[in-house]
């Protein structure tokens, strides 16, 4: 698989909470516990107008997912 195409579904990724679009970053922080890192698993992608796969839904925990731009993701090896 060519890893230069960006994150794929089931990739583990890391990101800054400030890059989260939905829910609000402050809401994300309110639900995190000290042992949760700012990383998760890509579960799906969303388009933005004519830009395919512009956003990713990333699962942080079994109870919380966030939406953020794919450009803000870093694939964790």
Question: pLDDT tens-digit profile of 44-67?
Answer: 999 999 999 999 999 988 888 999
What is the distance between the alpha carbons of residues 19 and 12, in angstroms, rounded to a whole number? Answer: 16
Statement: residue 2 has pLDDT above 60: no
H/E stretch holding 17 reads: none
Between 35 and 68, residue with greater pLDDT: 68
Give the number of other CB atoms < 10 A from CB of residue 69: 14
Confidence (pTM)? 0.71
pLDDT band at 1 (very low <50, low <70, confident <90, very high): very low
Residue 36: phi and psi, rounded to 5, are -85, 130
pLDDT band at 73 (very low <50, low <70, confident <90, very high): very high
């Amino acid at each position: 698989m060519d890893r230069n195409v960006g994150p794929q579904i089931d990739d583990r990724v890391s990101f800054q909470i400030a890059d989260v679009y939905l829910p609000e970053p402050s809401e994300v922080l309110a639900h995190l516990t000290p042992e949760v890192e700012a990383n998760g698993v890509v579960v799906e992608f969303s388009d933005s107008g004519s830009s395919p796969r512009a956003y990713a839904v990333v699962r942080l925990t079994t109870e919380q997912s966030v939406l953020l731009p794919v450009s803000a993701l870093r694939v964790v090896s």
